[in-house]
Amino acid sequence: MQIHLKTLGCRLNEAELETWAQAFQAKGHAITRDITRAQLVVINSCAVTQDAARKSRQLIRRIHRENPHAKLVVSGCYATLNTTEAQALLGVDLVVSNKDKANLVEKSLSELTFESMPEMATEPAEIALFTRGRQRAFVKVQDGCRYRCTFCIVTVARGDEVSRSITDVITEIKALHMQGIKEVILTGVHLGGYGSDNGENIVSLIQAILSKTDIPRLRLGSLEPWELNDEFFTLFENPRLMPHLHLPLQSGSDAVLRRMARRCKIEEYAKMLERLRRQIPLFNITTDIIVGFPNETEDEWLESIEFIKKCGFGHIHIFTYSPREGTKAATLPNPVPYEIKKQRSEQLHRLAEEMKYNFYTQNLGQTFSVLWEGQRDKLEDGHVRVFGYTPHYLRVSCDVDATKSLENKITDFLIA
């Protein structure tokens, strides 16, 4: 049977998709990029914002139009928070909530009727990643979050914290490396909370991966900035742990951070960035910022902008605040008018582009190892342009002879 997998939202959703791809293959089914060939389509939906929920509904409807004969399974945060609505959408055959995600493959194959039978089972994940056009792998190590930031609906959708065992994570990474994967990204809803339920912690997990696997590059997904202890910083002495962290700030104003129920003050955040860059001068810090949180005054916004300027981020994910039903923030008074939110967002986008340009400029003249991807843009002179990422997560390109392939290779590259 041909199976098409689709996701919206976070890297955790992507990691879950890969796990399902491996499980379907192990049962003798094939993964296809061509949705029109699929007998089964699985969608991992998102609901982090109202807009994300809307896009999830649109995606479900579009996929049903493109292939009305395929069985359609919907999972993820939208399907969990809006189960009845998702079940009622035209074409949806099965809704699997987040708490049942581990059983999605079995439920799909047992509860839905298919005309085709599986072929002989292959080794799990033998070609799943590359069939789906991936050169790096996301590995889910935990789910759920014990904190309740006032703007966040994901903690409601994902439930309590549950961590995988270090042994299971090591086994998966070793298998991925044997298949040719050279970079693994650890993901979770609350990655820094890894081990809160099993006596481990994120430091012990990373130490185990670095000592018990030979994966060339290990990268971390989003981490809350209040969870990085002294031992964590020493991990970057190992060059296989990539010098890039995504540390969501959300606001550069302590007053706004208190209303968000965030657990890090801007002074603490600044010291953390200073420490990382003192240890590795070109350490890349990226972040999330919410613009126009309820009751965000002009003074608070100006304070936030000034602090963000000092941070020198390599990239900023910018979210214009919109109320999310089910969150405490949606009940807060004094919403920021749309026009003001729009103006602040445009101002921050300009600043973010300037900071990104400055960070790239700082890296000029440096030689870094680059993991090259499969994308190749055809040029007119018998060459192709290929793309890859430095350890600092800078996307770079290189023109090579069309007969050569750098895909999934790591080579030294001078940024010029």
Q: Do 373 and 282 fall into the same domain?
A: no
Per this entry, what is the length of the chain?
416
Q: Do 356 and 318 fall into the same domain?
A: yes
Domains in the chain: how many in total? 4
Residue ending a domain, among 111, 127, 159, is: 111
Is residue 119 one of the residues assigned to a domain? no
Coil, strand or helix at 102: helix
Q: Do 152 and 211 fall into the same domain?
A: yes
Coil, strand or helix at 385: strand
What is the domain-level CATH number for residue 302? 3.30.750.200
What is the domain-level CATH number for residue 31? 3.40.50.12160
Lowest mean pLDDT among 111-125, 247-261, 324-338: 111-125
If 0-12 CB within 10 Å is exposed, 13-18 middle and 19+ buried, where does residue 191 land? Answer: buried
Coarse DSSP helix, strand, coil percentages of the chain, rounded to the nearest 5 percent: 40, 25, 35
Is residue 166 one of the residues assigned to a domain? yes
State the sign of the Cα–Cα–Cα–Cα dihedral 72, 162, 31, 26.
negative
**Torsion angles phi and psi, residue 9, rounded to 5:** 95, -140
User: In DSSP terms, which residues pair with 71 in a beta bridge?
Assistant: 40
Domain that holds residue 405: 367-414
What percent of the chain stands above pLDDT 70?
Answer: 95
Is residue 126 one of the residues assigned to a domain? no
Q: Do 191 and 237 fall into the same domain?
A: yes
> Residue 120 — very low, low, confident or very high, per pLDDT cuts 50/70/90?
very low
Task: Find how far residue 57's CA is from the centre of its chain.
Answer: 20
User: Which residue has better confidence, 375 or 221?
Assistant: 221
User: Which residue has better confidence, 133 or 102?
Assistant: 102
Q: Do 196 and 271 fall into the same domain?
A: no
Q: Do 144 and 230 fall into the same domain?
A: yes
Residue ending a domain, among 182, 213, 242, is: 242
Q: Do 355 and 377 fall into the same domain?
A: no
User: In DSSP terms, which residues pair with 241 in a beta bridge?
Assistant: 218
What is the domain-level CATH number for residue 194? 3.30.750.210
Residue 122 pLDDT greater than 50, yes or no: no
Q: 134-180 pLDDT, tens per residue? A: 678 899 999 999 898 999 988 788 888 999 999 999 999 999 999 88
Is residue 383 one of the residues assigned to a domain? yes
Residue ending a domain, among 213, 242, 271, is: 242
Q: Do 276 and 197 fall into the same domain?
A: no
> Please, are residues 42 and 20 in contact by the beta-carbon 8 Å criterion?
yes
Q: Do 201 and 288 fall into the same domain?
A: no
Is residue 30 one of the residues assigned to a domain? yes
User: In DSSP terms, which residues pair with 410 in a beta bridge?
Assistant: 371
State the sign of the Cα–Cα–Cα–Cα dihedral 117, 119, 122, 126.
negative
pLDDT of residue 9: 77
Q: Do 303 and 315 fall into the same domain?
A: yes
Q: 22-49 pLDDT, tens per residue? A: 899 889 898 998 999 999 999 999 988 8
Q: Do 41 and 146 fall into the same domain?
A: no
Is residue 118 one of the residues assigned to a domain? no
Give the pTM.
0.85
Q: Do 260 and 213 fall into the same domain?
A: no
pLDDT of residue 134: 62
**Torsion angles phi and psi, residue 388, rounded to 5:** -160, 180
Task: Find how far residue 73's CA is from the centre of its chain.
Answer: 22
> Please, are residues 244 and 359 in contact by the beta-carbon 8 Å criterion?
no
Residue 411 pLDDT greater than 90, yes or no: yes
Task: Find how far residue 34's CA is from the centre of its chain.
Answer: 23
Is residue 293 one of the residues assigned to a domain? yes
Q: Please, what is the angle between helix 266-279 and helix 298-311, to 10°?
A: 10
Is residue 177 one of the residues assigned to a domain? yes
